[in-house]
Each structure stands twice: as C-alpha cells, then as structure tokens.
A and B are shown apart, each in its own frame.
Chain A
Amino acid sequence: MSVITISINGAARQLPDSTSVATLLDELALSGKRIALERNGEIVSRSRFGAQQLTDGDRLEIVVAVGGG
C-alpha cells in the first residue's frame, strides 16, 4: 500500500493511498462535527465525504464556527 502526503490546514500529513475524506475525518475525530471542508479550493459537501478519495498533494482546509464578529 502506498502512502500519500496531503496538507490539512497547512500541516503535512501522511495517509494510506485511497483514504476517503470520511475516513480521514473519522481519524481526526471530526466525524459528525459541525465543520466545513475545502479540498484544493473547492467546497466538498457533507454528502460527498464518503465518495471523495484523497490523492497525493491535496490541500484540505477544515473550518469551524468560533466566537468573534
């Protein structure tokens, strides 16, 4: 099984090849949390988390709502 390197919120992370967005979120303990996710500048809707396979060099941004404004 080969390994891919992706960037999550600017930090590099190595994952097994063909990891889905849903699997990654599970590993990050973010499954079911109120987050929004962008992959290479495009928003990935929640319903597509399971179907999206990550590939080497992907840049993910994961955001949450925080106090501010």
Chain B
Amino acid sequence: MNTNKMDDNLVIAGKNYHSRLLLGTGKYKDFAETKAAVEASGAEIITIAIRRSNIGQNPNEPSLLEILPPSKYTLLPNTAGCYTAEDAVRTLRLARELLGGHSLVKLEVLGDPQSLYPNVVETLASGKNAGR
C-alpha cells in the first residue's frame, strides 16, 4: 500500500488531495456500509445526490451529511436525475445552500432514463449558468 508520502498531490482550488479516487454513494445497503466503503477506499472526494425530503417519514433517520461530514470530505453534489439545464442549476443552488456555500459540483444533465446517457447540449447550457 501507499506507505511512502508521495509529493504528487492532486490540487483543486488550492486544496491538496492525497487520493485521486472520486467515489459515489449510490446503491449501498445502508449508511454504515457507505461509511465503511468510503473509509476503506481512502477517497477524499465523494459524490452525493440531492433529493426531496420524505416529509413525515423517519424523522430520526440520520443524514448522509452526518455520516460523511463536509468538514472531512469534499462532497460533490451531483445533478444526475435532472433532465434540463434549468433543473440542474436549480439543484446545484439548493446543494450550495445545503453544504454551506461549497461550490464544487459534479454537473451532468441526463438524456436517456434507460442508459443514463447524458444530454450534452443541456449539460453545456447548465455549465454556462451554474457559475452565476
């Protein structure tokens, strides 16, 4: 394993990362498994999704942000699930609020629900608007 301190950190916006692995958090059985996988991977950049809260259900359910605290990980809110540029940018604004002003994101606009192939034109359009 990586016992030598290597001097080739990944640097994004002035922040040093020791791992180049970006890890998703979908499809895990539960938060415990998510946490264990993230820790085992050594990844420091983790993608998350933003969804409508289930009103009135499981009020004591822990938040993913308690399992993966933004103080410890760089969380990339993902716009997968959005089918228009407008929807993607809106989702990212909510994500920025949720993550306390954090502005690094994973941007994509879906084209096809079966293959999840992206809609490139809409993804480009959302990129032009996301910085505003």
Measured CB to CB, the residues of A under 8 A from B are: 8-11, 28-30, 33-38, 41, 43, 45, 61-69
Interface size on B, as a range, is 35 or more
- A59 and B72 CA atoms in complex are apart in Å by 34
Does chain A have a CB within 8 A of B103?
A: no
- Which of A9, A29, A67, A69 contacts B52, CB < 8 Å? A9
Q: Quote the shortest CB–CB distance from A36 to chain B (angstroms).
A: 4
Does chain A have a CB within 8 A of B123?
A: no
In the complex formed, the residue of B with least CB distance to A29 is B59
Does chain A have a CB within 8 A of B119?
A: no
Task: Determine the chain A residues whose CB is within 8 A of the CB of B28 once the complex forms.
Answer: 67
Of listed B26, B81, B97, residue having the most chain A CB within 10 A: B97
- A7 and B64 CA atoms in complex are apart in Å by 25
Of listed B28, B46, B51, B53, residue having the most chain A CB within 10 A: B53
Task: Determine the chain B residues whose CB is within 8 A of the CB of A68 once the complex forms.
Answer: 24-26, 47-49, 51, 78, 80-81
